[in-house]
Amino acid sequence: MNAAVVHDSQSLPRYGTFAEPVAAENEVIVSVSAAGLHQIVRAMASGAHYLSTGALPQIPGIDGVGRLEDGTRVYFGASHSPFGSMAERCVTARQFCLPVPEALDDPTVAAMMNPSLSSWASLKARAQLMPGENVLVLGATGVAGKLAVQVSRRLGAGRVVAAGRNPAALEELLHLGAHAVIPLVDDQEALAASLHQEWSQHPVNVVLDYLWGKPAETVLGAMTQKGLQHTAARIRYIEVGSMAGWTISLDGATLRSSGLELIGSGFGSISMERISQLLGEFLQEAAKRPFKMKIETAPLREVESRWNSAEKGTRLVFIP
């Protein structure tokens, strides 16, 4: 079959042929119609992500949309190495095939389901967001961040604050449901002052962080309180991405003086059964009232030339 193939972690995937997948017990073969190029897909192909197995050659792609042998249209994930979703056919666990509502087209589902895991699943399963609580989305100007702002509102957040670098995207986020925006300026003191001003009026209950690195250090540092005349409020800090750095430096005083709870969200911290349930819920919610997302499609044969394309607020979906 035709597929995108990673031959070594230092090179771009190339369009070529690959062996047909064979389904084992409780697995199914999916004829793929659309597969999204997500950040995690790039990271796994390069070997940088913790889910990377290192097995080569392999087909990239973590999820997609397609049809089962009986014609059922499904969203699928949980494919196993070396068979990713960027191919004409893929093998996956039967339990991780979710029927796609007629109201949703294939590219839209392929584009939005992985980003929804970092917002819908993170806010429900890890943060356990309650209606009326306030959310800060750190790194809100990317595709996943924009969706996270919309998801936060859909789940009943009282106030949603979007923080990011792109001024035009920050303006757009005000139209997508954000109540306020905070530019991630290089001046760390100015950024900390902006965070303090926001939190003094509207205390944050949940931080959804797509960046980590230096921006996370500034946000966490801004939580540190001095003196004895305060009561530490509970803040669930959900780390879902590392676009700005893999590590941070954290002052112990931040933990001791605040109600901070550091929580990761991703594969491994949520069971696959729970992920499947949550993504099914998200599909139904999206079918009832669509989320706004910019999508671009390209034939899979262009994978090598399009692999490192700048996202610019648009999720690229390959069509085998």
| Interval 205-229: pLDDT, tens | 999 999 999 999 999 988 876 555 5
- When pLDDT is cut at 50, 70 and 90, the band that residue 81 belongs to is confident
- Do 2-112+292-319 and 128-264 show the same overall fold? no
Q: How open is the CA angle 69-37-101, to the nearest 5 degrees?
A: 45
Has residue 122 got a pLDDT over 60?
Answer: yes
In the chain, where are the structural domains located? 2-112+292-319, 128-264
Neighbour-count burial for 95-110, b at 16+ CB within 10 Å, e otherwise: ebbbebeeebebbbbb
- When pLDDT is cut at 50, 70 and 90, the band that residue 97 belongs to is very high
The CATH number of 128-264 is: 3.40.50.720
The CATH number of 2-112+292-319 is: 3.90.180.10
- When pLDDT is cut at 50, 70 and 90, the band that residue 230 belongs to is low
Q: Per mean pLDDT, which range of 46-55, 193-202, 232-241 is the poorest?
A: 46-55
Q: 105: which residues sit within 8 A by CB, 6+ positions away? A: none
Residues 79-94, mean pLDDT to the nearest whole number: 92
- The per-residue pLDDT for range 20-48, each reduced to its tens digit, is 999 999 999 999 999 999 988 998 887 77
